[in-house]
Amino acid sequence: MGASFERTAALDAAFVMPTYARKPVMFVRGEGMRLYDDDGREYLDFVAGIGAVNLGHSHPAVTAAVCAQASRLTHVSNLFHVEHRDELARDLVALFGHPAKVFFSNSGAEAVEGAIKLARLWGKARRGEECYRIVTAQRSFHGRTLAALAATGQASKQEAFEPLTPGFTHVPLNDIAALDAAVTPDTCAVMLEPVQGEGGVYACDPAYLAAVRALCDERGVLLILDEIQTGFYRTGPAFAHQAYGVVPDVMCLAKSLANGLPIGVVLAGGEVADAFQPGDHGSTFGGGPLVCAAGRACVRALADERLGENSVAMGAYLRERLGELAVRTGAIAEVRGMGLMNAMELKSDIAAEVAAELLSGGFVINSIGTRILRMLPPLVCGKPEIDTLCDALYVSMGHCMQGGA
Ligand SMILES: Cc1ncc(COP(=O)(O)O)c(C=O)c1O
């Protein structure tokens, strides 16, 4: 640990609210899958800013777009037209592949808030003032702001902040009968992550998501897909729902849209999008020219570099290697994921210890709860990096199992 780390950690303790239990490292530079700390030590990044840097760190196309735009114009306001906003909206709708319009926010939670407001307006206009309820999944994660937190299906994150925004019901994922019972005439939307991320990487079954779409159609309810973590080729296609062959009415995006710059999007088809009228919603910074220039460069580079194909191929390779590790160690209960969004569930409570040992060995990997290790590398990840990680996992799991025995 360098002197600059010590100084920063002291400032953090003194002046920053302790909402995160930060790891003892300060990254100062990144390139592709590699991060470098203030001592110049190299790390392989299997977290990618929690799925926010799909192109890899410091991608030259995004850097060039940001530098060019920053030297021209950074911010005006949403009261005026600016460059890049409308082009990025057009590019996102083209990736979606169906007629739609977007609203730009600054984060994932704000995108979810926007989708909730849009669904409430849409529902109330159709079935009256009481039609504002939204059904979401248990173990889901939709963000930390109050309505997004109410939508989140994790009591541990909610309890301290009660009373929460009313109108949310949570059902078990992949249980269509439970969803059927939870949708009432007062329901305006069902909101799901195609693959739950923060909850531990649990995917919707294809038959379930198709049945959810049919149920929403039958009952006149919107299907909102939160693709904040699954979007931008993380699971293979541009958006995870495209592999399921299910088209949502509303989609939330954020994380990797601008390769690490703060941005969020609510995208909605046809008449749903027009439920918002001037004055209904807004944001000072959302859709500004700087972040939209970055977004355009990012969306273009992700497609040009065919990172969706790499995501599918390397995801399959990673799960194969983790499967071998499961046989060798006997310590892994399950390996699951889609594309480069993967997790392994351990048989004992050593996930945090393994992640900490890996960090000191030069690997960034995420632990969820006590038993889940999540891997979300930049989509430029290759076989050599996966092999190196699996070798390190084998050693660390061995140490931690001995320590815990
Ligand atoms: C599926 C999903 N929705 C919403 C969010 C919240 O996004 P943000 O942290 O940008 O507010 C996240 C963040 O992890 C997420 O994974």
Best of 228, 232, 256, 266 for a ligand 1 pocket test (most atoms within 8 Å of beta carbon)? 228
Name which of 92, 108, 67, 60 is nearest 380 in CA terms. Answer: 60
107 lines ligand 1 (CB under 6 A): yes
Best of 141, 144, 157, 224 for a ligand 1 pocket test (most atoms within 8 Å of beta carbon)? 141
Looking only at Cα atoms, what is the longest distance across the chain?
Answer: 63
* pLDDT tens-digit readout, 146-195: 999 999 999 999 999 999 999 999 999 999 999 999 999 999 999 999 99
Domains in the chain, CATH or no CATH each: 3-55+306-404 (3.90.1150.10), 61-304 (3.40.640.10)
Would residue 383 show up in a list of annotated catalytic residues for this protein? no
Name which of 108, 107, 111, 133 is nearest 120 in CA terms. Answer: 133
193 lines ligand 1 (CB under 6 A): yes
| Closest residue CA from atom 16 of ligand 1 | 229
Query: How much distance in Å is there from the Cα of 1 to the middle of ligand 1?
Result: 30
Q: Are 234 and 311 in contact (CB under 8 A)?
A: yes
Q: What is the pTM of this model?
A: 0.98
Distance CA 126, CA 401 (A): 57
Task: Pick the catalytic residue from 46, 96, 103, 141.
Answer: 141
Query: How much distance in Å is there from the Cα of 67 to the middle of ligand 1?
Result: 27
* pLDDT tens-digit readout, 67-122: 999 999 999 999 999 999 999 999 999 999 999 999 999 999 999 999 999 999 99
Name which of 165, 225, 242 is nearest 190 in CA terms. Answer: 225
Bridge partner residues of 134 (DSSP): 168, 189
The token pair that represents 37 in the structure block: 């700390």
| Closest residue CA from atom 3 of ligand 1 | 142
Task: Pick the catalytic residue from 249, 255, 276, 363.
Answer: 255
109 lines ligand 1 (CB under 6 A): yes
Predicted confidence (pLDDT) at residue 219 exceeds the cutoff of 60: yes
Best of 142, 191, 201, 204 for a ligand 1 pocket test (most atoms within 8 Å of beta carbon)? 142
| Closest residue CA from atom 7 of ligand 1 | 108
Banded model confidence at residue 295, pLDDT cuts 50, 70, 90: very high
Predicted confidence (pLDDT) at residue 1 exceeds the cutoff of 70: no
Residue that has been written with the tokens 């941005």 in this structure: 263
Q: What percent of the chain has pLDDT over 70?
A: 99
